[in-house]
Structure 1
Amino acid sequence: MIAISGRGGLVGWHLRTVLYSEGRSWQDVDLRQTVATTTDLADVETAIHVAGISRGSDHDVREGNVELARRFVAALDAGGARPRRVVYADTGMRGTSPYTEGKARAREVLSAAAARWGADFVDVVIQNVFGEHGTPYHNGVALTFCHRIARGEQPSVDSDDVRTFVHAQDVAEALAGMIDQAELDRRGTRMTVPELAGRITALADVYRRGEIPAFESRFDRDLFNTYRSYAFAVSPVHRLTSAMDERGAFTELVRAHGSAGQTGISTTLPGITRGDHFHRRKIERFVVVQGEARIVLRRVLTDERQVIDVTGEQPVAVDIPTLWAHAITNTGASPLVTAFWTNELFDPARPDTHQETA
């Protein structure tokens, strides 16, 4: 079993979705308690400390990060844990700021505990994490840019710094031991803050037309999926335009710029539901072209839901956000015809389809 702290943060949630998709069990350790609880943690083999404090007074930030590490260790001791692997979500930053000092001292606390337990200590260095459903103005400039652009606002660029940006799913895989530090570093992308703002703006400009932008790299895809998590909250459907003449109508379902993709059509009998799964990386579009249906979406590991009723009489495109369980049910009296598009060819060895009820 795995014990983790920081379940509610950006990295903590992404870590839990990765563990969940891999069928691995974990125990959340609540660090809000000033006294260690007696939760049974004897089966813990890996302890992952993600929780941290980056906002507050100098004292709160410096001492708060140390205290969180101490509480994590105390909770493990109280629960009878003797992990064989202790993992720390570190920033890799060095210096004398309250934050870097606090994180450095927290590292010492965890390293000492690992030595006492006879465990391997793994320091996973992460910087400038971005990903779906982070908190703008808190979890990093990329998320603030996505939040503002999705709402039609201009991103405020006040730095020319060159930074390395890494997606939260990659960070989660590193913390879970699925990839090593070298691979995590390889997946990072270096660019200036103005370049990042320009990249998100370019992706958003194409997507506002209901079209799928070109992806030059994994980074573009992950940045686009991050942007979509904010855009979906603002407008979950894309209206489709039909060209009418004496022959009938023509409706374009997907316009993908330079992207690989796969398109299929399904028929669904009345009352039948398809789906009930989620994707970690894949972009998927639903368009009902005949009949009536209800699309239900639920953010993984939460009760946050969206319900969208659609009809073939007025086709719309619904792009399924990553890390949301989704299902489509035929709510009409006749067979439902739905067109599906994904941005990648189906790979049976790596389907990126994880069963979960919406």
Structure 2
Amino acid sequence: MKVLVTGSNGFIGKNLIAELEATTEHEILSYDRDTDVSLLDSYCEKADFVFHLAGVNRPETEAEFMMGNFGFTSTLLATLKKHNNSCSVMISSSIQAELSNPYGESKKAGEDLLKAFSNETGADVLIYRFPNVFGKWCRPNYNSAVATFCHNITHDLPIMVNDPEVMLNLVYIDDVVKELTRALDGKENRQGNICEVPTVHTIKLGDIVTLLESFKVSREERSIPNMVDAFTKKLYSTYLSYLPEDQFSYPLKMNVDQRGSFTEIIRTPDRGQVSVNISKPGITKGNHWHHTKNEKFLVVSGTGVIRFRNLNSDKVIEYFVSGDKMEVVDIPVGYTHNIENIGESDMVTVMWVNEAFDPEIPDTYYLEV
């Protein structure tokens, strides 16, 4: 298909085009305010589907609302009619189309134009009234509080919250793009005369700020949030996309001695922590047991042996491990255990434990295997 996308350089346009180019063979006809206006005529002649995402959100004068949201829609539809093109047209409207304000009225006017176009030509039209949309590539300090907060917090700039109790209805950009690609296949989610993104998150503005600030702290604490909640997962991905380009990395505290090193990578509130252990040749580490802590060891480089002994037995169990054949070894509770580097180079082991280390309750007891 030949797919015309107006507002191609905008937030939703960029994400939609990236998805279509990555996953389909459709020819994308990109049109934005900087595109040669003469191309609109040829695009409207050959388009098989139109995503009309162009619009005005923050103009210098209120008159520009109608000019951008009604005027260009009128031009687009007139050009389609000129070429007798009755392809399906999707329009990006807003929940504010139900309100009496200049922005909402301009969006409603654009909707009405599209309905009239459908009545006249028989074209299938899809009117999407989006709530607040958030995600990567959204412009900060424009019309998205989430984008502004993400940008400011990652750049150590102040934020302003007038009313932390205000409730926001939000849709994530990936959910928007998923719905639009379904619409392209004729599987849109219609609710009467309006189409909707089925997954909407409702959350207090203050709670969003609390989460974003916790994300900032998490990099200092080598932690990641609980991702069970879908909104937290999406917001965390969004937050990371606003990091300054010179701050993608952060240092870790390496605990180094003559035996090698031990470095904690990540800790979580509910899924334990992950660390990397480096052992010098001939070095044995461990010789301890746990009541409740359980671990998984994965040697990714070098050669070693992991030994176990049940506290109630003299029998020693050995597992020989190597980065040449990676396998996970579970460390059960009630077994004293150690790991020895029996190779000639450093042995690197990725270690997971089911709970983050707490010096007040270490649950670690020394005992030779």
TM-score, with length taken from structure 2:
0.64
Out of 104, 117, 123, the residue aligned to residue 119 of structure 1 is: 123
Distance, in Å, in 1 between the alignment partners of 2:273 and 2:17 is 29
1:169 aligns with 2:178: no
Amino acid at match of 1:29: Y
Aligned to 1:52: 55
Out of 32, 38, 41, the residue aligned to residue 41 of structure 2 is: 38
- Number of matched residues? 269
Give the ranges of 4+ consecutive aligned residues of structure 1 lying more than 6 Å apart after TM superposition: 260-263
Aligned to 2:256: 244
Aligned to 2:11: 10
Q: Secondary structure of the equivalent of 2:265?
A: coil
Distance, in Å, in 2 between the alignment partners of 1:163 and 1:261 is 33
1:138 aligns with 2:142: yes
1:54 deviation in Å? 1.3
Aligned to 1:180: 189
Change in CA separation of 1:92 and 1:163 when aligned onto 2, cut-off 3 Å: same
Aligned to 1:269: none
What are structure 2's unaligned runs of at least 5 residues? 276-299, 302-347, 353-369
Aligned to 1:314: none
Q: Secondary structure of the equivalent of 1:240?
A: coil
Q: Is the 8 A contact 1:86 1:114 kept in 2?
A: no
1:261 deviation in Å? 11
1:91 aligns with 2:94: yes
Change in CA separation of 1:250 and 1:23 when aligned onto 2, cut-off 3 Å: same
1:107 deviation in Å? 1.1
Distance, in Å, in 2 between the alignment partners of 1:258 and 1:231 is 25
- 1:264-279 aligned at under 5 Å gives the runs none
Q: Secondary structure of the equivalent of 1:114?
A: helix
Aligned to 1:102: 106
RMSD: 3.2
Q: Secondary structure of the equivalent of 1:253?
A: strand
Q: Tell which has more relative contact order, 1 or 2 (C-alpha 8 A, sep 6+).
A: 1
Change in CA separation of 1:146 and 1:234 when aligned onto 2, cut-off 3 Å: farther
1:139 deviation in Å? 3.4
Distance, in Å, in 2 between the alignment partners of 1:181 and 1:98 is 26
Moved more, 87-96 or 176-185: 176-185
1:186 deviation in Å? 4.2
- 1:300-339 aligned at under 5 Å gives the runs none
Amino acid at match of 1:122: L
- 1:152-231 aligned at under 5 Å gives the runs 152-159=156-163, 160-177=165-182, 180=189, 185-231=197-243
Q: Is the 8 A contact 2:132 2:170 kept in 1?
A: yes
Distance, in Å, in 2 between the alignment partners of 1:141 and 1:162 is 12
Deviations along 1:209-239, one digit per CA (max 9) or x if unpaired, are 3432222322111111110011253501122
Distance, in Å, in 2 between the alignment partners of 1:176 and 1:73 is 22
What are structure 1's unaligned runs of at least 5 residues? 264-288, 291-336, 342-358
Q: Secondary structure of the equivalent of 1:211?
A: coil
1:78 deviation in Å? 5.5
Distance, in Å, in 2 between the alignment partners of 1:260 and 1:38 is 58
Amino acid at match of 1:206: S
> Percent identity, aligned pairs only?
22
Q: Secondary structure of the equivalent of 1:195?
A: helix
Aligned to 1:23: 24
Distance, in Å, in 2 between the alignment partners of 1:213 and 1:150 is 16
Change in CA separation of 1:190 and 1:35 when aligned onto 2, cut-off 3 Å: same
TM-score, with length taken from structure 1:
0.66
Amino acid at match of 2:204: T
Q: Is the 8 A contact 1:155 1:197 kept in 2?
A: no
Deviations along 1:168-211, one digit per CA (max 9) or x if unpaired, are 11112222325525795542111121121112212222134343
Distance, in Å, in 1 between the alignment partners of 2:113 and 2:101 is 18
Q: Secondary structure of the equivalent of 2:57?
A: coil
Change in CA separation of 1:184 and 1:101 when aligned onto 2, cut-off 3 Å: closer
1:73 aligns with 2:100: no
Q: Secondary structure of the equivalent of 2:161?
A: coil
Q: Is the 8 A contact 1:7 1:13 kept in 2?
A: yes
Deviations along 1:288-327, one digit per CA (max 9) or x if unpaired, are x99xxxxxxxxxxxxxxxxxxxxxxxxxxxxxxxxxxxxx
Q: Is the 8 A contact 1:50 1:88 kept in 2?
A: yes
Distance, in Å, in 1 between the alignment partners of 2:179 and 2:52 is 13
Deviations along 1:115-172, one digit per CA (max 9) or x if unpaired, are 3332211111211111112111113101111111111234210133211011111112
Change in CA separation of 1:82 and 1:101 when aligned onto 2, cut-off 3 Å: same
- 1:335-354 aligned at under 5 Å gives the runs none
Q: Is the 8 A contact 1:61 1:99 kept in 2?
A: yes
Q: Is the 8 A contact 1:150 1:231 kept in 2?
A: yes
Aligned to 2:296: none
